[in-house]
Amino acid sequence: MPKNIAAIDIGTNSTRLLIASLSGSRINTLVREMIITRLGKNISSDNIILKESMAKTVNALSSYLKLCRQHKVEKIRVVGTSVLRRASNSSHFVEYVSEKTGLEVEVISGTEEARLAFKGVVKSLANTEKTFGQIRNGFTGGKKEKEKIIVLDIGGGSIEIVSGRSDCSISGIKSIELGSVTISEKYLKEDRPGTAEIALMSDIIKKILQNDLGKSEPYKNAFLIGVAGTVSSLGSIFLGMEKYERDKLNGLILSEKDIKGIFRMLSGLSSEERRKIKGLQPERADIIIGGTAILLAFLRYFKADKLMLSEHDILDGIIYSLCNF
């Protein structure tokens, strides 16, 4: 009889759920949900989580608990990431969640977040030979010995960068407290950002990467896999998706030219106009420009002309951790 387990990720921009069944050594996805809760709203100004954001997140968690009960989930792991590492009232939020839902939130380090994301991406790819073939052919010319991987996870409040190989061995981990929500709130003040505003933000991102990464060798000469909302949104926009289709996004390869074209288009629109773009969730209209600027800065830093999208991430890594895989 399969055992059902669940992972919940409380992030700066969204709260997400994955319910999976474990049968022997095989993991099957049953439910994957995401609700924009913006727990990190205005966090860059005073490091305090707003009461309205707490309430919205607890409502999302309560709905996830109902799904877990419906699927007879036996074990749940709930993790909090960047926003809870940063907020001065994160302990109050953890207590509030426990009081309202009975869930225990584990605030994990940036390093643990990165490790779980890498595990989720690479182990999931290993179980999808077609996608792994795309990696080899798209990035390495079919030379399997060069399967050196960088997983880039651009979240709302932080970025995790992990380099390693297809056997899940890790050679470098870095977590940077910079994300699509925090950079947008801090530097994009105009509804339709001007050239000077975009240039200033891009320059600041470049300097942050140079200071935090320097000339870190583990991050060089590898191919790039991108995860999380910014990357998925760019893929959806590129494909002109009317509705989210996970299988079409997973394994999609975007070139730097593709991403630059989308960035120019987004930068010329007002937030209201961005909300109407096919493939972009309206709730991401105010942070997609900042997130895309971060991605482009990484592509330049890594001297990469493309990246592959993965719809597997930290949630999958949490599931694997619960199974001790």
What are the boundaries of each domain within the chain? Answer: 3-108, 121-315
What pLDDT is attached to residue 215?
64
In angstroms, the CA 86 to CA 82 distance is 6
Q: How far apart are CA 170 and CA 222, in angstroms?
A: 13
Query: Residue 146 — φ and ψ, nearest 5°?
Result: -100, 25
Environment class of 264 (CB within 10 Å of its CB; exposed 0-12, middle 13-18, buried 19+): exposed
Confidence (pTM): 0.81
The domain defined by 121-315 folds into Nucleotidyltransferase; domain 5 (3.30.420)
Two domains, one topology: 3-108 and 121-315: yes
Give the pLDDT score at 133: 56
Question: Tokens 């989720």 belong to which residue?
Answer: 120
Q: The sheet that has 105-107: what strands, in order across it? A: 26-36, 14-23, 3-10, 75-80, 105-107
Max CA separation in the chain (angstroms): 60
CATH fold for the domain made of 3-108 = Nucleotidyltransferase; domain 5 (3.30.420)
What confidence score (pLDDT) does residue 145 get? Answer: 46
Exposed e or buried b per residue across 96-109, where buried means at least 16 C-beta atoms within 10 angstroms of its C-beta: bbeeebebebebbe
pLDDT confidence of residue 108: 93
Query: Radius of gyration over alpha carbons of the chain, in Å?
Result: 19
Beta carbons within 10 angstroms of residue 266's beta carbon: 22
Strand runs (DSSP E) across the chain, as ranges?
3-10, 14-23, 26-36, 75-80, 105-107, 148-154, 159-165, 170-176, 223-227, 253-255, 306-309
| Integer Cα distance of 22 and 323 in angstroms | 8
CA angle 105, 106, 112 (to 5 degrees): 145
**Collapsing DSSP states into helix, strand and coil, what is residue 67?**
helix
Other residues' Cβ atoms within 10 Å of the Cβ of residue 295: 25
pLDDT at residue 44, rounded to an integer: 64
Q: How far apart are CA 117 and CA 226, in angstroms?
A: 11
Distance in angstroms (rounded) separating the CA atoms of residues 186 and 170: 33
CA distance 1 to 21: 10
Tokens of 262: 């989308």
- pLDDT tens for the chain, residues 1 to 325: 468 999 999 998 899 999 999 776 677 899 999 999 989 887 766 788 999 999 999 999 999 999 999 999 999 999 998 889 989 999 999 999 999 999 999 999 988 988 898 888 888 776 554 455 555 555 545 555 446 888 898 888 888 888 888 777 888 888 888 888 888 887 777 778 888 888 888 888 888 888 887 766 555 567 889 988 899 999 999 998 888 888 888 889 999 999 999 999 998 888 899 889 999 988 888 889 889 999 999 888 888 888 999 888 899 999 988 887 6
According to DSSP, residue 178 is labeled -
> 126 with 261: CB under 8 angstroms?
no
Phi-psi region of 61 (alpha: psi -120 to 50; beta: other; left: phi over 0): alpha
Q: Which two tokens stand for residue 187?
A: 């530097």
Which pLDDT score is estimated for 30?
A: 94
